[in-house]
Amino acid sequence: MRAVLSLGSNLGDRLAYLKSVIGFFGPAVVAVSSVYETKPWGVEDQPDFLNAVCIVDDPARDEWAWLRAGQELERRAGRVRELRWGPRTLDVDVVTVDGVRSDDPELLLPHPGTPERASVLIPWLEIDPAAVLPGHGNVRDLLAARPDSDRASVRLLQPFPR
């Protein structure tokens, strides 16, 4: 199944953690956005994040397999979940999987908060200009609805290193 994954890191070698995800998924990676730097939200007293979005496709993986793979990568990166929206070595969020809807508390799809997160919408649009978030509409329209300050807070850092 095809999935959109949002990647973030604000501790340690942030870029290396993002690269580890792309390396892990290898041939399943269809597209990777540039790397963006963003201010934290929720808990603001922490380092800035590096963010990227990737599109992956693997017929052997369903939404649960994408979630488990992301959790395994976070575990390998030494992620500790002590504070919601707190600092983290690696965050791999499953944004959407082939339009699947899920209200399971362990796997909410599409990922909640996505319509309000310019840090996801901007890199996603970079690699899929026609992107649609199931149940919410065109990603371009969602981004246009965000305040200017939200869009301006997502700073292009560099193309994703290969």
Digit-by-digit pLDDT tens for the chain (162 residues) are 999 999 999 999 999 999 999 999 999 999 999 999 998 877 677 899 999 999 999 999 999 999 999 999 999 998 776 656 668 899 999 999 998 999 999 999 999 999 999 999 999 999 999 999 999 999 999 999 999 999 999 999 999 987
What pTM value is reported for the model?
Answer: 0.94
- What value does the CA radius of gyration of the chain take, rounded to a whole number of Å? 14
Q: Which of the 8 DSSP states describes residue 27?
A: G
d(CA 63, CA 65): 5
